């Protein structure tokens, strides 16, 4: 858009980014994109790309044809674990299964996008963020050097810069049973998510200090009843 290019986003879901930031924050971010001139076509799928030597149009599942000069496809990633077949290591669709210390097997450790580290509840999670990879690497290096069982204690964290705004996503925003909206201003946005009385996640725009505090609170499994900004924002 900053180059003056006409941009259309085709999204299968009713609103983009709902799985990443939650329904409420996603609606605000969609409005930000529209305000910057992005055309959003939601609830539609791509059926075909047409062209001769280069792509010339995109055909949607309802028959709509969109002329275009270039297509950017974002369809996610699948961990490349085929080379581990027959290794005796546990590999699932989630990736290489590691315990909470990063150990995948006897004298085998794993870090990064291809690995799924097990949380306190015994559920493996694959975090495709460079921050997670760096923190996992530090833990594994310590455990290798010290024969220790240190785990990652920091809350997961990722950011994105979009339309001149910094978007921070901290912790887990899925499966929440309570929500606080501290601001709906698209330049100063804060959604805090809780589950079973504990702060579990946050989606923030333009609030770096609050992001740091949220990482600390989430990692410490802080009860929301102890957070003044949560209590004071009660509906």
The CATH architecture of the domain made up of 157-232 is 2-Layer Sandwich (3.30)
- pLDDT tens-place string over residues 10-32: 999 999 988 888 888 899 899 99
SS3 label, residue 43: coil
Helix and strand numbers (H, E) in the chain are: 5, 16
From first to last of its 235 residues, the chain has per-residue pLDDT tens of 989 999 999 999 999 988 888 888 899 899 999 999 999 999 999 999 999 999 999 999 999 999 999 999 988 888 999 999 999 999 999 999 999 999 999 999 999 999 999 987 788 989 888 889 999 999 999 999 998 899 988 888 899 888 888 999 999 888 889 999 987 677 788 999 999 999 999 999 999 899 999 999 999 999 999 999 898 887 7
- Residue 144 makes CB contacts below 8 A (sequence gap 6+) with 109
DSSP state of 161: E
Question: Could you tell me the pTM of the whole model?
Answer: 0.81
Contact 183, 192 (CB under 8 A): no
Contact 180, 234 (CB under 8 A): yes
Q: Output the six-digit token pair for 157.
A: 């964290």
DSSP notation for 176-207: -SEEEEEEEETTEEEEEEEETTEEEEEEEES-
CATH fold for the domain made of 8-67? FAD/NAD(P)-binding domain (3.50.50)
DSSP state of 224: G
82-146 shares its CATH topology with 157-232? no
Does domain 82-146 fall into CATH 3.50.50.60? yes
């Amino acid at each position: 858009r900053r180059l003056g290019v006409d941009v259309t986003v085709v999204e299968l879901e009713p609103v983009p980014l709902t799985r990443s930031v939650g329904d409420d924050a996603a609606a605000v971010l969609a409005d930000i994109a529209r305000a910057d001139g992005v055309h959003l076509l939601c609830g539609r799928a791509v059926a075909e790309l047409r062209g001769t030597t280069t792509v010339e149009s995109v055909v949607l599942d309802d028959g709509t044809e969109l002329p275009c000069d270039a297509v950017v496809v974002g369809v996610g990633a699948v961990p490349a674990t085929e080379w581990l077949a027959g290794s005796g290591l546990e590999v699932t669709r989630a990736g290489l299964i590691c315990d909470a210390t990063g150990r995948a097997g006897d004298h085998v450790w794993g870090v990064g996008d291809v690995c799924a580290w097990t949380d306190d509840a015994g559920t493996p999670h694959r975090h495709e963020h460079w921050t997670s990879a760096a923190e996992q690497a530090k833990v594994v290096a310590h455990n290798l050097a010290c024969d220790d069982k240190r785990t990652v204690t920091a809350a997961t964290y990722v950011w994105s810069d979009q339309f001149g705004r910094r978007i921070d996503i901290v912790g887990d925003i899925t499966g929440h049973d309570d929500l606080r909206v501290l601001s709906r201003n698209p330049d100063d946005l804060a959604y805090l998510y809780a589950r079973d009385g504990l702060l579990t996640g946050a989606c923030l725009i333009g609030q770096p200090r609050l992001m740091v505090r949220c990482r600390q609170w989430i990692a410490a499994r802080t009860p929301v009843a102890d957070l003044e900004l949560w209590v004071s924002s009660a509906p």
